[in-house]
Every structure is written in structure tokens, then in C-alpha cells.
């Protein structure tokens, strides 16, 4: 399972998209809508439960630019809508359980979360 994180430029776009959407940053609405994308057969409500890979902690990591599961990252981006323009994702290579960050802000190797 791959992990993805937002680039610095992507984080700026994410914040702008949240503002344009008009929802509170930490509203359960983000998690409900992402859950509908991750599992369209489920019944998702504010205050949970949410689809696998969709939680407040995952949403917070997404907003901080920390790597999260690729399917969760994509679902959150889809909820944010067409406001996002490439490149939102920081470039890195997955090598086993580690990734090499190709973002110019860091050249460290570390485990994805």
C-alpha cells in the first residue's frame, strides 16, 4: 500500500480549496464525503463511523503534509474538488516500507505514516 503526501505548493492549494468550499476545516463533513468516495455502499453520517482509511487523524495528517494512504489522499482531493491543480503531491519513491522524498525542501529518507 502506497503513501502520498502533499507538496508545499499542494498544501497551499488545499487550504485555498477548503476556504472556497466554505466548510469548517475540522468539520465531520469532510470525512463523510471522503467515506462516500472510499465506500459508496456504506451509510456514512457526521460523527461516524467512517470508511476504512478515513478518520480525523488521517484528515489532520493530510492537512499537515504528512504521508497518508494513497486511497485516502485521493478521496480527500476529490472532496476538495476541481480547485486543486497539479502538482499537489510531493514527489517521492516508495522503497519497501520507506520513501525517499524528492521535494526540494527535504532530502531525508523515512517511514511513511
User: Where are the domains positioned within the chain?
Assistant: 3-110
Mean pLDDT of 65-92: 76
Residues 102 and 93: beta-carbon distance below 8 Å: yes
pLDDT at 106 over 80: no
State what percent of residues in the chain have pLDDT above 90. Answer: 37
> pLDDT, tens digit, for every residue of 10-51?
888 899 889 988 899 999 999 999 999 999 988 898 888 999
What does the pLDDT read at residue 93? Answer: 43
Question: What are the grid coordinates assigned to 64, written together?
Answer: 499537515
- β-partners of residue 87 are none
Amino acid at each position: 500500500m502506497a503513501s502520498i503526501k502533499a507538496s508545499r505548493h499542494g498544501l497551499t492549494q488545499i487550504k485555498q480549496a477548503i476556504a472556497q468550499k466554505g466548510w469548517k476545516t475540522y468539520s465531520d463533513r469532510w470525512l463523510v464525503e471522503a467515506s462516500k468516495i472510499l465506500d459508496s455502499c456504506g451509510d456514512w453520517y457526521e460523527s461516524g463511523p467512517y470508511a476504512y482509511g478515513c478518520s480525523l487523524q488521517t484528515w489532520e495528517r493530510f492537512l499537515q503534509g504528512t504521508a497518508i494512504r494513497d486511497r485516502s489522499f485521493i478521496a480527500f482531493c476529490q472532496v476538495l474538488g476541481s480547485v486543486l491543480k497539479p502538482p499537489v503531491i510531493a514527489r517521492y519513491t516508495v522503497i519497501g516500507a520507506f520513501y525517499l522524498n524528492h521535494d526540494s525542501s527535504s532530502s531525508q529518507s523515512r517511514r511513511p505514516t
